[in-house]
């Protein structure tokens, strides 16, 4: 049964400050006309990617009671979107949740958040990486960056610029894990442009989309990208068009952050571009 308004379940942490995970997924999906129900995996004062002294409250014990209650309410989700997960055990529970809520026509969308720039995030362990691999085998779509793709494929991380051949081998190997659609972020062939590549294993089609390249590291852009990509897909865009929208949205947000010299640790100034998102999805009519 389809919902009147597309209904997504977002399984991420709440980092109180820092524009990532649920503080990004909720506003973006809502602006895109999608009901976003949340299963918070942990509550932190900030994200873990650069602040010191952050608080961390693990919510692993809440996962099963929350989804059992939702089951008892006979809720249907058009998409289940997982991101940052707090512990090894938690990744296993999310895998079980996927089995409980998977239907013939919904999508399991996994952003295998584990690291960036060749390094694991501080709360991630090798054991969690193995468990994330298993989680991805149950997904319909995965959205890794190159660091995460390398971890999932158990191969060493390589700095860019990349070649088409290198990216296409990564995409095809990732699809062998199980997901039929792969969107790989952080793809660049020169120092002028950066973007994403997508692969649909059913059609064999590989596509690319690039924007300009801004130097520096902007926190939370993976979550902004994933949320816009899912927003596009749930609004019936083709994979390539949803990816292009996500690249454009992230690029605009980075440019504005740079223009205002805002501290990139606090994420990108994406709020200004929610009207752009609504327009590109044709939701302003």
In the list 8, 9, 10, 21, the residue contacting ligand PXL (rule: CB under 6 A) is 21
Q: Across the beta sheet with 42-46, what order do the strands follow?
A: 14-17, 42-46, 56-58
Q: Does 47 bind ligand PXL (CB under 6 A)?
A: yes
For every residue of 109-154, DSSP letters joined together read EE----EETTEE-TT--HHHHHHHHHHHHT-SEE--BHHHHHHHTT
For residue 72, the minimal CB distance to ligand PXL (Å) is 29
CB closer to ligand PXL, 208 vs 218: 218
Q: Does 257 bind ligand PXL (CB under 6 A)?
A: no
For residue 223, the minimal CB distance to ligand PXL (Å) is 5
DSSP-H helix ranges across the chain: 22-31, 60-72, 88-101, 126-137, 146-152, 164-175, 221-234, 239-259, 274-280
CB closer to ligand PXL, 17 vs 278: 17
Rounded distance between C-alpha atoms, residue 187 and residue 143, angstroms: 12
Q: Does 13 bind ligand PXL (CB under 6 A)?
A: yes
Stretch that binds ligand PXL, among 30-38, 45-53, 178-186, 233-241 (CB under 6 A): 45-53
In the list 49, 92, 160, 178, the residue contacting ligand PXL (rule: CB under 6 A) is 49
Q: Which of residues 205-234 bind ligand PXL (CB under 6 A)?
A: 220, 222-223
Q: Does 121 bind ligand PXL (CB under 6 A)?
A: yes
For the chain, report the end-to-end CA distance as a whole number of angstroms: 26
Q: Does 48 bind ligand PXL (CB under 6 A)?
A: yes
| Size of the residue set binding ligand PXL (CB under 6 A) | 14
Residue pair 282/242 in contact by the 8 Å Cβ criterion: no
Rounded to an integer, what is the distance from CA 221 to the centroid of its chain?
9
Stretch that binds ligand PXL, among 28-36, 40-48, 190-198, 254-262 (CB under 6 A): 40-48
Q: Does 87 bind ligand PXL (CB under 6 A)?
A: no
Q: Does 128 bind ligand PXL (CB under 6 A)?
A: no
CB closer to ligand PXL, 48 vs 60: 48
Per-residue buried b or exposed e for 203-228, using 16+ beta carbons within 10 Å of the residue's own CB: eeebbbbbbeeeeeebbbbbbbbbbb
For every residue of 261-275, DSSP letters joined together read T--GGG----GGGHH
Name the residues that contact ligand PXL, by CB under 6 A: 13, 15, 20-21, 44, 47-49, 84, 113, 121, 220, 222-223
């Amino acid at each position: 049964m389809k919902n009147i308004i597309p209904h997504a379940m977002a399984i991420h942490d709440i980092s109180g400050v820092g524009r990532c995970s649920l503080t990004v997924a909720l506003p973006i999906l809502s602006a895109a006309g999608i009901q976003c129900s949340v299963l918070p995996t942990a509550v932190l004062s900030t994200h873990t990617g650069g602040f010191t002294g952050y608080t961390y409250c693990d919510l692993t014990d809440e996962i099963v009671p929350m989804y059992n209650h939702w089951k008892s309410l006979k809720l249907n989700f058009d998409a289940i979107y997982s991101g940052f997960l707090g512990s090894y055990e938690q990744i296993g529970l999310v895998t079980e949740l996927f089995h409980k809520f998977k239907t013939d026509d919904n999508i399991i969308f996994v952003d295998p958040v584990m690291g960036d720039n060749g390094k694991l995030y501080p709360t991630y362990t090798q054991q969690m990486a193995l468990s994330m691999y298993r989680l991805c085998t149950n997904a319909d779509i995965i959205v890794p960056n190159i660091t995460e793709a390398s971890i999932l494929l158990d191969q060493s991380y390589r700095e860019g610029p990349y070649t088409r051949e290198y990216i296409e081998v990564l995409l095809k190997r990732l699809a062998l894990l199980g997901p039929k659609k792969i969107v790989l972020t952080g793809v660049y062939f020169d120092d002028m442009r950066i973007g994403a590549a997508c692969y649909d294993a059913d059609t064999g089609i590989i596509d690319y989309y690039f924007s300009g390249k801004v130097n520096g590291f902007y926190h939370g852009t993976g979550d902004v990208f994933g949320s816009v990509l899912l927003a596009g897909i749930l609004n019936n865009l083709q994979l390539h068009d949803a990816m292009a929208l996500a690249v454009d949205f992230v690029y605009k947000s980075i440019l504005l952050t740079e223009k205002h010299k805002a501290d990139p640790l606090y994420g990108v100034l994406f709020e200004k571009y929610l009207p752009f998102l609504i327009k590109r999805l044709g939701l302003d009519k």
